[in-house]
Structure formats: structure tokens, C-alpha cells
Structure 1
Amino acid sequence: MPSYRLPMYHRQSPAVRCLNFLCAVLLTMVLITGIIMFVLWLSLRPHKPRFYLNDFSIPNLNRQSGAVNLPVRFTVDERNPNQKIGIHYEAIYGSVYYGDLLVASGPVHQPFYQPPKGDTQLLGDLTASGPTSGDGSAWQRFAGDAAAGNVGLRLMLNSTVRFQVKVWDTKEHNMKVDCEFSLRGDGTLQQQDKNKQCLLYF
């Protein structure tokens, strides 16, 4: 009868077993460290602020002599959605456009710090520089829109911001806020544009 020999069991040497154990411990530590770093990144990753157009008005917008020297007033709500991250703002400047025509511009808010989950109202008080009856076709379009009760405008806010994470600050970011809206013929904000969220660019 043929004889069958069971395969011999080769025990690993102590050095190999020690090496395998160290590799397993190292991989486990790398995995745990990776998970911790990912959780920290999620909790400390800055979220962009949010801006909402609360109100906007240009009284006597439909007067026949043009919009020059009329008061331009608006309120924009700024909200910091971060739980643990503050935001440093440099001075904020505003510009109002009718198409490509600049209607008004000037400073809106001094530099300030926005704490986590904080809200700030940005109050703009500018003076219109146009359009006037001397602006040709631009004034004709503007006057026609005012007579129809629907004047489309854009409010641009520009600033530089830094996020404060615990005790250190991030690099500076150039921020641009773009709010599109329409005014009635009397110069007040259309109802559907109240509290409208503006676009934000970094």
C-alpha cells in the first residue's frame, strides 16, 4: 500500500512573528490617526459666510431729471455659519450697477471681527451718481424700466477676509458678494427680492 505523509507544520520564527505584530500595530495606528485627522479637518474646515439682501431703496427713482444725488440705502445681513471659526473682515466697499453703468459706490462698513455663529447687519448709505438724462440710451432704458416699475440693479460688496481657527488665522481671501434684485418704480425693493441670498465669490 502506498504510504501518505502528512505535511509538516512549519512554525514561524519568533523574529517573523514579532515583525508581523509590529506591522499590524503600525497599520492600526496609521488608520486611527487618519480617522482622527479627518474628523478634525471636518470640524475645523471653514465654511463661507452667507449674505442676504434685507432691504434696498432709492427714493424718487422715477423723477425725470435723473438719479444723480439721490440717496442709495440698503441693508445686507451677514451670517457666519461656523460653530468654532471666527471671521476677520477688512473694510467693506459697495458698488451699485445698472447693467454696466455705475450708479453709486463708496465705503459700507469698517473692519470688524465676526464671532462664530454671529450675525452682522451691513448698512449702506451711498449717493447716486447717475444715470442722468445726459447718459443717452442708458438713461432711456433706465427711465423706461422705472416707468414700468421694474428696475434691475446689482449690488457688489468687496472686502478681504481671514478665518480664525482657534488661535491661528488662515491666509487672506479676496471676497466679492453679488446681489441681483429689482426695484419698483418708487425706488423700493420688490417683495420677491427681500431676504434674497447673494452670490459669494472667493
Structure 2
Amino acid sequence: MAVAHESCCSRCITFLITIGFMALFLWLSLRVNEPKCYLDSIYVPALNKTLNSTHKNTTILFALKLANGNKDKGIRYDDVQLSFKVFVSMNDTRPLGNATVQNFYQGHQKKATKRGNFTAAFGNLTAAVAQKVWYRVDYNTTAKYKILFWYTKRHRLWGGANVEMNDSGLKVYAKPIKLGGNNPLVIESVAPNLLPHYRALLTFVIAAFLFLNACAFS
């Protein structure tokens, strides 16, 4: 009886371990990572001071880069909607226009660069805040993930970023700018941000300096 009992327990343990591995495999198969979307480049001829009569040119050219980091899942994007705005104050924008990147499929661990252009119908392309031109670029789309031979339900993808422009009509930073979901629609102060431990150190130094001065005059 003891042998039969041990055999039954062994089968139960083996069954539970098998179920656990199957659940883990299923979870890993169904788990997806959102693709990353970047503004790879942008060119606004109206901002290029080396050109003549730039104020008459209202064209905006751009390149969008999307990266699928999933190792075994493709992505079917619906149309990617883009909106472009120009800052007229630290926390206020005016629309410039919209653009659309047509729907497409992206294989696993693939990158895609989609180029486009549009004619700005609104606003002043050269509006400046503190003698700098800032644009706001946002994107919005939905996508389905391909797992083996079937697709998941649609997931909403969105994000945006503030883009500083230069006198050549290009963005100041050459590297692609990630259009993240938590980037606020406000121009942050250009003052350097002190890390918390640096602030604490600065406070300690000031306090020590005041203490030594007090001791010297006491």
C-alpha cells in the first residue's frame, strides 16, 4: 500500500510540474512587448535660414521609425495617425497639421522606417519661445500581435515628444526621439536638474558652512 501511495504521489507531483511548465510556456507565448516608436528625422524648410523665401514653404517632411522587439511575434499596424504642433508659449501649442502612415505588417525583431510629408495648413511654422522653436509630435494607432498563426485583439498605441528645432530646419538632436506616452506637452525649464543626493549634499555643505561661521564669531 505504501508503494502504491508513493507512486500516486509521484504521478501527482509530475502532473503538477508538467502543468506548471505548460502554464509558463503559454504565458511566455502570449506575453507581448509594445513596439517602440521614434521620430527619426524631421525637416522644415521654413526654418532653414540658408534658403531664400522660406516663409512661403509650408512643407514638413518626416521619418517615423518603429521597432518590434518581440522575438517571436509579428505586429499588424493599423494606420498611424500623426499630429504636429508648434509651441507658442511654455505650455501652449497651435496645430500645424496631420499626417498618416499607411497600415503595414512588421516581422518579429524588425525595424521599419516610414517617410512622409504634408503641407502645414495652420499656425506659424517659425513661432519661437525664448528664441527657440519647439514642435510637438504625437502619434496614435492600434495594432494586433501575431502569435503563431493567429492575431490578438487590437491594442492602442500612442505617445508624443517635444522636439527642439534649429536654424537648418532640423531637430537639434540627431538621434531618433522616442515618442513616449509620459512625455508632457510642456517645455521644461532649461535649468539643470540636481539629483536628490546632490541636493542633500549641497544642503549639508551650506549647513556646515553656516555652523563654522557661527563658531568662528562666537
TM-score under structure 1 length normalisation:
0.74
RMSD value over aligned CA atoms? 2.8
> CA 1:157–1:120 in 2, change beyond 3 Å: closer, same or farther?
same
* Higher RCO (C-alpha under 8 Å, 6+ residues apart): 1
Which residue does the alignment assign to 2:96? Answer: 103
What's the counterpart of residue 92 of structure 1?
A: 80
Q: Equivalent residue for 1:143?
A: 127
Residue matched to 2:202: none
Report the Cα offset of residue 91 of structure 1.
1.1
Number of residue pairs matched?
174
Kindly indicate whether residue 146 of structure 2 is the aligned counterpart of residue 160 of structure 1. Answer: no
Matched, 1:195 2:176: yes
Q: Quick one: structure 1 residues 120 and 144, their matched pair in 2 at CA, closer, same or farther if it must change by over 3 Å?
A: closer
Map 1:19-30 to 2 at 5 A: 19-30=5-16
Alignment of 1:18-97 (within 5 A): 18-61=4-47, 70-97=58-85
Deviating above 6 A after TM superposition, structure 1's stretches of 4 or more consecutive aligned residues are: 65-69
Q: CA deviation at 1:40?
A: 4.0
The one-letter code of the counterpart of 1:37 is A
AA paired with 1:143?
Answer: A
- Conserved 8 A contact 1:68-1:129: no
Counterpart amino acid of residue 165 in structure 1: I
Separation in 1, partners of 2:170, 2:29: 41
Q: For the residues of structure 2 that align with 1:29 and 1:196, how far apart are their CA atoms?
A: 49
* Aligned CA distance change for structure 1 residues 171 and 86 (closer, same or farther; 3 Å): same
Partner of 1:182: 164
Aligned with 1:143: secondary structure?
Answer: coil
Cα distance change on mapping 1:106 and 1:54 into 2, 3 Å: closer
DSSP 3-state at the match of 1:199: coil
CA shift at 1:84, angstroms? 1.1
> Who is 1:7 aligned against?
none
Aligned-partner Cα distance in 2 for 1:67–1:158 = 29
Aligned to 2:122: 130
2:69 maps to a residue whose letter is P
With normalisation by structure 2, the TM-score equals 0.69
- Retained in 2: the 8 A contact 1:68–1:131? no
Cα distance in 2 for residues equivalent to 1:61 and 1:71: 11
CA offset at residue 193 of structure 1?
A: 5.3
Partners of 1:130 and 1:167 in 2: CA distance? 44
One-letter code of the match for 2:179? C
2:109 paired residue number: 117
Instruction: State the AA in 1 paired with 2:171.
Output: L
Unpaired stretches in structure 2, ≥5 consecutive residues: 87-91, 183-218
Residues 43 and 171 of structure 1: CA distance in aligned 2, closer, same or farther (over 3 Å): closer
Cα offset for 1:200? 4.5
* CA pair 185-121 structure 1, distance change in 2 beyond 3 A: same
Q: Deviation of residue 183 (structure 1)? A: 0.5
Separation (CA, whole Å) in 2 of partners of 1:130 and 1:69:
13
Give me the identity figure in percent.
25
What is the alpha-carbon distance in structure 1 between the residues aligned to residue 127 and residue 99 of structure 2? 24
